[in-house]
Structure 1
């Protein structure tokens, strides 16, 4: 008698599933322009790294930018070295982070849980709108989420394998490697959060002997060899690096108020509930009597896996709920364990076999929701400047310069494919006292690491004539009403206008006349408009 083919959930092929995950996340990464400020900032820094040829120092407008480590920029710059400045290359680090998180979850559960639970958990994760859109957004949150997920699952897998006297050293070395990648992706959380999860899990499951794996010297060698050189190089080159990167960007940001996006302790509960629909609705479905039974349920350690996932979820949510400053993307590392717990609830529901067609329908519905979210983002009216591009056939020629008035627009260097830093005109004396987390503070902080370059690129408003009355053209970017406060713009060529932002081409002065900005007064002149704040979502 011919044996029936195994069901789709009992014979997953890891390579094809991982390839499908990556293709699913990458398929729509090109569909919309970069959003300001975050995507423009991180994509622009990656492009600047490529253009400068300096792959060690991340730079914002040519100035050392140490808000975050360089892994995101390395990946983005490497992709753009092949493709040029295109959106999907700028988002590739996030796509890779999402693919790593989902693949690690699948492979771990396939080995230590059941094939059915491994596939369904991965489907839930990959089709959750929060996860899918996080992988479509060019910032550091999904990349570090992938590193954290891989570190936790490889370390847990190493502990389980060691107990069963199976090969475990390669798994543990992989955990240390991804911990190093997490350090290079977003700093200390890439190491601290996985360590907290594993330590608490080992204590809760009485695996205290497994904690000795934290002292495994080859692992520390991997960590130091991969992550150490960049941090050492930056400290040697910039003596203030440690204080700024570690003390300010980690501990002061965590413990202090005054940064943007302050929310209450409860903030991430509705975020997780709302952004994981429709899958989150399964939390309210009654459990059945078939929990823990499946075609291969004989594999042990399901209670320990449950504890791992609950501890992982709790550590991430509680840790990021403590500081006052909260961004939605911070909690992305909590999605893999949440996907597991939801999938487990699906499989534990009453009349499982009758529910399987509904599971497939919900998978299709979740995918539809994801595509709908992407379409909604595409038509969303982004902050000014997101789509300001030069008309076809026009470009900044070699020897010409770009000046931004009263605001730095992160996406302009990316979309204009600029090869040199731009000039930024502002009241930089007042900026020294600005404590708000915005574009001005970012650039001013960066200027402290390279004062000589900052003196050439940061222009005080009173010095505009010195940089504009030169024998070559200057492309000026500012508010579309900037000509009212700067009458000399009436003598410039208006090149592009979009959503409150405009670009002009000012010819300058062939003779270097320092009075080239002098014009007859215009009766319509009004006070300068409020500067574009570039409301910072810095993560």
Structure 2
């Protein structure tokens, strides 16, 4: 009875700590609008999943969107079905991924290091501005970072447990489970990266026999059962799925140039150093103090160091680099920082004062980072809001003129996809990796629907002369290239976007809108 009571109390304390981690990360996740384009894109796809009722195929503007698998959208859509379509609900997948990473690191180090290292490592990770902001940014990077972290930690836990004659199968099953979730979160890296870290760690620490754990049949059965059905279903429904999702979005994107955000090989080194301040400074302090007699590394230290190195090196290879790609490197970095800080203050009477100050400064830096992003990352008026009292009716048409504002379907609560007027010529599509290419690629999977939603130049009356009102969204200066917009009512305006409203006619007569002399729309403006 005493043992049962003790176990219950320990689980309760663990639950409270994990809940506290989540609440800290989620505290400011509601205070700013979605950042365009990334947050608008991914939350918009989740909203489309909820609105359409199609929980199998991720859709961007109603078209199959196979840049990434569906786990983020499933979680986001489920959250919005309960909490409503809010920014906080849309960011819940990232919050969960960050909580998994922080809780997993704390629990692993409690068992295989010591309580002080575990506690400080969790504090360091949770108060890194890079990690804190990533937890509140609605894209796929933090969710897959949490899955990768859990996979690595559980695989290492299974290895160390087996070596000591303790139970290891439950931890290894958990590693395969989170690897499957990582694949459903962002594709092959959900399995490849933790597998790479595990192999390098086993080889470097002289435990090649532990590599047999990667071939554990029950684990692979669990992995295939969880990760396989969605991919099989998509391939059966869309024959071009494998080539696009695996070959193009994984291998070509990794190896080729021509994508956005090209940076040099060393890009992530200053990014990590700056975005993890003030904690990164403790690595330099510890290195200076231990320059003559560096302390030996344990198996756990080697795991953390190699884990961090593998992630940074892997994402440094391709030319295209986004800051969030290296989020899986932050949990092991937090452990290395904590280890360095504890070593630096050991034996120093006033050493803990410096740690307390660092924690306070880091917490302030987290809050300041969110405030800066809210003020400058997405300007308050960047989201195009309709005037008070005006809404887009369920039968109204929405047209976007040579642009696609990802967040408008979410904020306007649109009940169906919008029509996008634009230039879909191959020369323009191949030159830029942007909204135009995303929509065009999506339209290829359902060409009939794509041809209806993605249109080029055409007769204005064909698009505007409807029995229901039509809303036209475009750049704020669109009227210079499209004088016919002057015939519509300007409904809303900000320095970036504008929306015009055309009432249409009761009978949808094709003569309702007077166009240019040749009856054709002017050429779309180049954004």
Query: TM-score range, shorter-chain basis?
Result: over 0.9
Q: Is 1:451 aligned to residue 443 of structure 2?
A: no
CA–CA distance in structure 2, aligned partners of residues 176 and 407 of structure 1: 42
- Pairing of 1:36-47 with structure 2 (within 5 A): 36-47=36-47
Unaligned runs of 5+ in 1: 1-10, 294-300, 532-539
Question: Structure 1 pair 228/386, CA: closer, same or farther in 2 (3 Å)?
Answer: farther
Question: Structure 1 pair 433/35, CA: closer, same or farther in 2 (3 Å)?
Answer: closer
Question: Structure 1 pair 385/258, CA: closer, same or farther in 2 (3 Å)?
Answer: farther
**What residue in structure 2 maps to residue 20 of structure 1?**
20
CA–CA distance in structure 1, aligned partners of residues 424 and 290 of structure 2: 65
**What residue in structure 1 maps to residue 369 of structure 2?**
373
Question: Structure 1 pair 436/526, CA: closer, same or farther in 2 (3 Å)?
Answer: closer
C-alpha displacement at 1:526, in angstroms? 10
CA–CA distance in structure 2, aligned partners of residues 385 and 64 of structure 1: 30
- Pairing of 1:53-132 with structure 2 (within 5 A): 53-132=53-132
CA–CA distance in structure 2, aligned partners of residues 470 and 45 of structure 1: 28
Q: Is 1:413 aligned to residue 409 of structure 2?
A: yes
Q: Is the 8 A contact 1:487 1:519 kept in 2?
A: no
CA–CA distance in structure 2, aligned partners of residues 35 and 309 of structure 1: 32
Unaligned runs of 5+ in 2: 1-10
CA–CA distance in structure 1, aligned partners of residues 355 and 380 of structure 2: 42
Equivalenced residues, count: 510
**What residue in structure 1 maps to residue 311 of structure 2?**
316
**What residue in structure 2 maps to residue 7 of structure 1?**
none
Deviation larger for 376-385 or 115-124: 376-385
Among 329, 337, 356, the alignment partner of 1:360 is: 356
**What residue in structure 2 maps to residue 30 of structure 1?**
30
CA–CA distance in structure 2, aligned partners of residues 270 and 56 of structure 1: 40
Q: Is the 8 A contact 1:431 1:440 kept in 2?
A: no
Partner SS, residue 166 of structure 1: coil
Which of the pair has the greater relative contact order for Cα pairs under 8 Å at 6+ separation?
1
Partner SS, residue 283 of structure 2: helix
After superposition, what is the alpha-carbon deviation per residue over 1:457-499, rounded to whole angstroms, capped at 9, x for unaligned? 1121224321211111101111122223333322322211123
- Pairing of 1:281-360 with structure 2 (within 5 A): 281-285=281-285, 286-287=288-289, 303-350=298-345, 351-360=347-356
CA–CA distance in structure 2, aligned partners of residues 493 and 381 of structure 1: 30
**What residue in structure 2 maps to residue 166 of structure 1?**
166
Q: Is the 8 A contact 1:385 1:412 kept in 2?
A: no
- Pairing of 1:391-430 with structure 2 (within 5 A): 391-430=387-426
Q: Is the 8 A contact 1:480 1:502 kept in 2?
A: yes
RMSD: 2.2
CA–CA distance in structure 1, aligned partners of residues 14 and 85 of structure 2: 32
CA–CA distance in structure 2, aligned partners of residues 494 and 330 of structure 1: 41
**What residue in structure 1 maps to residue 481 of structure 2?**
485
After superposition, what is the alpha-carbon deviation per residue over 1:383-427, rounded to whole angstroms, capped at 9, x for unaligned? 798411122221111211100000111000010011100010012
Q: Is the 8 A contact 1:385 1:411 kept in 2?
A: no
Q: Is 1:439 aligned to residue 441 of structure 2?
A: no
**What is the TM-score with the length of structure 1 in the denominator?**
0.91
After superposition, what is the alpha-carbon deviation per residue over 1:309-333, rounded to whole angstroms, capped at 9, x for unaligned? 1110110000000000000000000
